Each structure stands twice: as C-alpha cells, then as structure tokens.
Structure 1
Amino acid sequence: MVLAGKEANRVAGAAPPDRSATLARIIEADVIPRLLLASGRAGEGLPTKHLQVEPQDIDDFAKMMIAIDLTRAGVVVSSAMARGVALESILLEIFSPTAKRLGQMWVDDECSFMDVTVGLCALQSLLRSLSSGDIVEPRALIDARVALAAMPGEQHTFGILVLETFFRRAGWDVVGMPLSPRDEIIASVARKSFDVIGFSLAREEALCALRDLITDVRSASANRGLIVLVGGRVFNESPELVRTVGADTTASDADEALVASQNLMCSRVRKH
C-alpha cells in the first residue's frame, strides 16, 4: 500500500480541503522518494521529461476520481508512460494537483463532501496500483448486490455512506442501512438475496453483539453463500478479529472493501 497507517489516518481525519492538501504533500514528500528508492534511482533526481498539463486536464482527472472512472484515468497514465514520461513526473504533475483540486472543488461548492471523499479514495486506490506497477480498476466484474450497515448503536455512520457511494458508482446494486436496527437488518437479508453484507464497527465492547448479529444474519439469509465484510476502527487496529466475529474478510477503506468483495465473489463463482 502506498499510504502507511499513520499517513492514511492523517488523510482520513481531516476535512476535505486539508485532507486533499495532506494527500498532495504525502505524494510529493513521501510516495515519490519511496518509488525512487525502490527503483534504485534515489540519487539521480527527478526525470526531466514532463507532461503538458493544463488546468482543464486536472479538472477532468479530478472528475474521473469522483466518478471512480479508473478506466479513463488508467488510459491517461498509461499513455503518458508510453510516451516516456516517468511515474514520478505523473505523480507530481497529475496526482498531486488533482488531490489539491479536489479540496478546492469542495471549498468552491463545486461538489459535495461525499464527492471529495470518494474522489480521494479513488485517487489513493490508483496510487496503490501504480506503486505496484499494475493499474487496477476496482469495478464490479459481475452483477452483485450488497447491503451496508453500521452496527446498531454506532454513532459514526459516515463511512457507510462513503461505502454506499463507492460500491454504487462501481456498478453494484446497493442497499444502505446506516441507522437500521438489528431486526430490520435480519429481515432485509431474509427478504432479499444479497451477495455481500458489510458491517462497520468502532466500539470494541460491541464485538460480541456483532458476532451474534452475523450468526443470525447468516441463518436468516436468502443466500446461503452470503459474504460478510467488516470494517471500522476495531478491525483496522486488529484485523484478526474478523475470525472472532465470524466474518469472511475486512478492509481498511472503501476501495479495499470493493476489491475484497469482488475477489471473494469471483472465487466462489469459479468454485461453482
């Protein structure tokens, strides 16, 4: 992953303009030096070949991030690299200005808080894939339906709203239940067949209650192959708790949740 835990927390914990500026600084001050070290070019300085980037180009790239249109974004990056532009220059001349532009779009009331949050998640996703040398498009590979809920009693539900937006823009059929009570969640999975259900939890003291809820959801589910995804502060700090609550997997952010869900669904399809 491009962003380490503390860096990701710095980005996630700020308001959109500050979050965008923080991500831009991390790209410039940390990601690029890491890539240079990894490629053995730390002492050579940055490449001299540059892109011809106009403000409109950055606007367009920012809108691709908000729409999670990583296909077009990947074409932009791949085309530049095919012309001999080094990745470091792409990060400096496209990614960093795009991060800053996303924050400014919110300040200028050109998009919502949610749009900026989703756009930054998508930008980080693209950063991860580029750092590994593989542009990955986190879009649904098959028709799928997901239910997303906060653990009943949770006060922080914004993460569920971000997940809803991220999955929906990636082509999934999404049912959001950020404030739904326990009985309503169970009734929903019994009434409609879901491929994946995701739960968010921040309170460690509610782990047993989540385990019991997952057990009841699996028993009631119209889909006996239901995949259970969990996330939130508790699992970010202790991923091994996935097994304790009886879930299938965890993810630290929206794009990881999407990719993990896709991978599990595809593996089950291949088995059958």
Structure 2
Amino acid sequence: MKPYSTSGLTDADDGEAQSPAIRFLVESALRKIASDYVNRRPRGREDWIERLCAALMSESDTSHKAVISALISTGVTSEQVYQDYVPEAARRLGEMWISDTASFVDVTLGAARLQALFRAAGDARGLPMLDRSIPLGEEILMVIPEFEQHALGAFVAADTFRRHGVWVRMAIGMETPELVELLREGRFSAVGLSLATRKTVEQAGELIEYLRANVRSLPPVIVGGRIVAEDVAAVRRCGADHAVRSVREAIERCGLATVTERLTVRESSQG
C-alpha cells in the first residue's frame, strides 16, 4: 500500500501538483528579469550599443527599431545613430562571432537587420536616399577577399559610401586574377578592404602586393575594419595607402566627391 501524506495525496501526486506552480513562479521571475532589462534605461553609449546588439539578435522583428527610437528620444541625432552607433553595433556583432559569445545564426540575423536599416533609412541622415541613382562620377571597389570570413563591416561601409553619393561595386570572394582584370577594365577612385584579424592583414599584404605588380594604375588602397583600431601599425605595413577608422576619413583621404560637397557648392553658387 502506498504511503499517504496528511493531505491525502501521495508524495508523487504532491510533486506533480506543485510542478505547474513552481514552473509558473520560475517563468514569472524570468519575465520580470527580462522586463526590468528592457525597461531599464541605458546609462550611456556603451549601454545603448549593448541594448541595440541584443535587440538585433532577438526574436522580435521590431525591438531594434524601438531601441533606436528610444535613443533618438534622448537627443542623439539620426546622423549620430548611423555614423556611430550602428557601425559600432556591427563591429560588436563581429566580435561576438569571433569570440563565440553569439551563434552564427544570431549574428547573421543581426547583420541582416542592420543592412535593412541602411536600406530603409531614406533621408534619416539629412541626405537623399542614395544608391546608384545619383552618379557623382566616383566609384570604389569594395573587396571581400576569399580569406576574410567577416563581411559585415564591408557591407556597412558600402552602404555608407552610397549615402554620400559614391558608387560601390562589391567584389566578393574573387580570385586575384579576376580582381586584376576588373581593376584594369574599371575606373575606380579607390579600392577598399575591410579586415578583422591580424592573420587577414598578412594575407591582405600579399593581395595588395600582387595587385600593385599587375595593375599599372592602381587606385589608392584603403584598409578599414576592427583591426585598424587594434593595430594600425600592422595595417600600414600591409602596403595599403590609407588605414582608416571611418568612411568619412576614407572619403577625405582619397578626395572623393560627395553629395554634401555638391550641395554646398550648389548653395554657394546660388547665394
């Protein structure tokens, strides 16, 4: 005969009765923690970027937009969001992938949402929606070499160049002879490389050396990416003309014509 508790239930039955209640308490506590995190206002730039990265990789399709709206409500301009916070979030996603603190699926989802933000931004930065619709005569070749696995930075940079009215042609995983042929046929104002690690810097050096040896009039070679902030000296040794930390710096170093400059010239001539 089974032993009965004072309540008239067996121990097993008592455990089964308590399980839903315990599960409810645990789930309520987790929801409370998640709610507190969402409702807690970030205290500074680092907190905002952390919140944005979490939202970009969340199950919600709109939470990252809510984070950006909340950020703008604090007085941060759209220009600052797209020039500072979004590129930094992209860099963080890449770091999380490299350090294995986020899965490939999560980082890919976050990257896709970032690219969608750039496409949908329109005139959020005070500029017309730019792609290839406003040709200013400047075109760069953005190269994602076969040895570089982290391509998000290159896509973010390409979108930013386009918003300044600079055409961008993507060369993804092309072999070096193909790149040489493309550079010989095109009229590029610059060649861009986005690099993530010291290993890819060494391989980029070999690529740049090959291009210089086989392209008679090679345009300026620009190197950007996470590694520039970590070891700019190593990047300079790879043979690039410029090691830059932002698209704005790349534009200035190469003297590229931008929409902002054209608008300024037009306003001056009209005045």
Structure with max Cα Rg: 2
TM-score (norm 2): 0.49
